[in-house]
């Protein structure tokens, strides 16, 4: 299998694999040797796009959190330190989340102050054992912080050679617009990507975020493209690692899941493969982010890059998992 790499977005020329390796499980759910093995396998398979965040390393989904913020970046950093890897990957990380488990400074709580961005970038570089970050992303919007302050901090890092591109995550459509327009007014580089939750089951961003990103040439990096395991074949016993919550969500969507899995069976493709292929069919999407806990989970995702869904299949999936439509036509004339 040969992956067909693509431009990250129309706003930049770097080419990435159509699958992005998400690393949130590395540390709290996947031991370091297994994490290294998955990254090695990804690189061998042609996956050159890796995503992490400064806060990753805590097991957010457990009643008693384990690990610590920064652990995942540390694991990746030790993997990179073996040599021969850094130049082969497009490395993305994020800033915003509460890092006070690492430092008690008040300004290291969640947010995007210029000081916070600069300091957290230095910390991520140290943990990742690299001199630069290819894609530095705001993990969330901070509406208490002026856009100019955020842009200036990112552009300072860019001028220093510490970051290459700027991205966002969990933005609304109007956040995309205000950042893009202000960057244009300042004559400075703006966003190249937006990372957002997106799947067949959760299509909310199609209303306003997708059109906004399309207009400004910003690519979408969907996270949770399997809807927390709901689209991964849960009726057949697929393990998402979040069994109780998965069971509740499956019950809430029992009829749709049954129809979906029957459709996948008739198509002759695994439900997870279909779900990822559907996300990939959207031209605004650069690469869905998959977050495997095991080697088997990673390997199973690669088939999605070869599955092409025709118009009939897409229409059938729309019937099972209808989207909201684009604003304002979805709520006004």
Evaluated on CA atoms 312, 317, 318, 320, the torsion sign reads positive
What is the arithmetic mean of pLDDT over 231-259?
A: 72
Give residue 109's pLDDT: 76
pLDDT tens track for 137-157: 999 999 999 999 999 999 999
Averaged pLDDT for residues 36-61: 93
How large is the average pLDDT for residues 260-266? 98
Q: Is residue 13 part of a domain?
A: yes
Q: In angstroms, rounded to a whole number, what is the distance separating the alpha carbons of residues 93 and 85?
A: 16
In DSSP notation, 216-252 reads HTPEEEEE-TTGGGTTS-GGGT---S-HHHHHHHHHH
Residue 288 lies in a domain: yes
The residue ranking higher by pLDDT, 239 or 36, is 36
Please determine, for residue 238, whether its predicted confidence score (pLDDT) is greater than 50: no
Q: Among residues 56, 165, 179, 223, which one is catalytic?
A: 56
Residue 167 lies in a domain: yes
Structure-token match 């059938």, residue found: 316
> 107 lies in a domain?
yes
pLDDT beyond 50 at 236: no
CB 203 within 8 A of CB 281: no
pLDDT of the residue at 102: 61
Neighbouring C-beta atoms of residue 185, cutoff 10 Å: 9
Domain assignment of residue 48, given as a range? 6-320
Mean per-residue pLDDT, 208-233? 97
**How confident is the prediction for the chain on average, in pLDDT?**
93
The CATH number linked to 135 is 3.20.20.100
Q: Which residue has the higher pLDDT, 188 or 287?
A: 287
Whole-number pLDDT of residue 101? 65
Q: How far apart are CA 35 and CA 172, in angstroms?
A: 32
pLDDT for residue 312 is more than 60: yes
Residue 105: which pLDDT band, with cuts at 50, 70 and 90? confident
Helix, strand, or coil (residue 28): coil
Residue 327 falls within a domain, yes or no? no
Residue 64 in any domain: the answer is yes
pLDDT tops 50 at residue 237: no
d(CA 248, CA 230): 10
Categorize the per-residue pLDDT at 2 as very low, low, confident or very high, splitting at 50, 70 and 90: confident
**SS3 letters for 244-276?**
HHHHHHHHHCHHHHHHHHHHHHHHCCCHHHHHH
Average pLDDT over every residue of 240-262: 77
Rounded-to-integer distance, Cα 59 and Cα 198, Å: 22
Report d(CA 286, CA 4) in Å as an integer: 12
At 61 the pLDDT is 58
Domain count along the chain: 1
For the CA atoms of 74, 222, 295, 241, the dihedral, rounded to the nearest 10 degrees, stands at 90
Predicted pLDDT at 99: 87
How far CA 46 is from CA of 10, 79, 226, 257, in Å, comes to 22, 17, 21, 32
Higher pLDDT, 204 or 246: 204
The answer as to whether 329 is a domain residue is: no
- What average pLDDT does this structure show over 223-244? 74
Is residue 201 in some structural domain? Answer: yes
The pLDDT value recorded for residue 169 is 98
Catalytic residue check, 56: yes
């Amino acid at each position: 299998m040969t992956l067909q790499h693509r431009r990250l977005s129309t706003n930049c020329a770097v080419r990435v694999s159509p699958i992005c390796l998400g690393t949130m499980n590395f540390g709290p759910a996947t031991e370091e040797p297994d994490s290294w093995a998955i990254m090695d396998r990804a690189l061998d398979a042609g996956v050159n796009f890796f995503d992490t965040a400064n806060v990753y390393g805590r097991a957010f989904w457990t009643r008693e959190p384990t690990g610590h913020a920064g652990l995942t970046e540390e694991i990746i950093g030790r993997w990179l330190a073996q040599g021969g890897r850094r130049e082969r990957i497009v490395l993305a990380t994020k800033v915003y989340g509460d890092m006070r488990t690492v430092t008690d400074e008040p300004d290291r709580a969640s947010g995007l102050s210029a000081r916070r961005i600069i300091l957290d970038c230095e910390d991520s570089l140290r943990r990742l054992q690299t001199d630069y970050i290819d894609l530095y992303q705001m993990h969330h919007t901070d509406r208490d912080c002026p856009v100019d302050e955020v842009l200036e901090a990112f552009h300072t890092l860019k001028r220093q050679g510490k970051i290459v591109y700027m991205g966002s995550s969990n933005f609304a459509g109007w956040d995309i617009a205000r950042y893009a327009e202000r960057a244009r007014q300042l004559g400075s580089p703006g966003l190249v990507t937006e990372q957002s939750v997106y799947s067949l089951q959760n299509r909310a961003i199609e209303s306003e975020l997708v059109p906004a990103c399309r207009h400004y040439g910003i690519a979408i990096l969907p996270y949770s493209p399997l809807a927390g395991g709901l689209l991964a074949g849960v009726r057949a016993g697929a393990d998402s690692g979040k069994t109780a919550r998965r069971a509740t969500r499956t019950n809430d969507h029992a009829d749709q899941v049954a129809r979906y899995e029957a459709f996948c069976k008739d198509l002759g493709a695994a439900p997870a493969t279909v779900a990822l292929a559907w996300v990939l069919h959207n031209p605004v999407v650069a690469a869905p982010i998959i977050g495997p806990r095991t080697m088997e989970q990673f390997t199973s995702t690669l088939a999605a890059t070869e599955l092409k869904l025709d118009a009939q299949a897409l229409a059938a999936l729309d019937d099972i998992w209808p989207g909201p439509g684009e604003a304002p036509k979805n709520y006004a004339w």
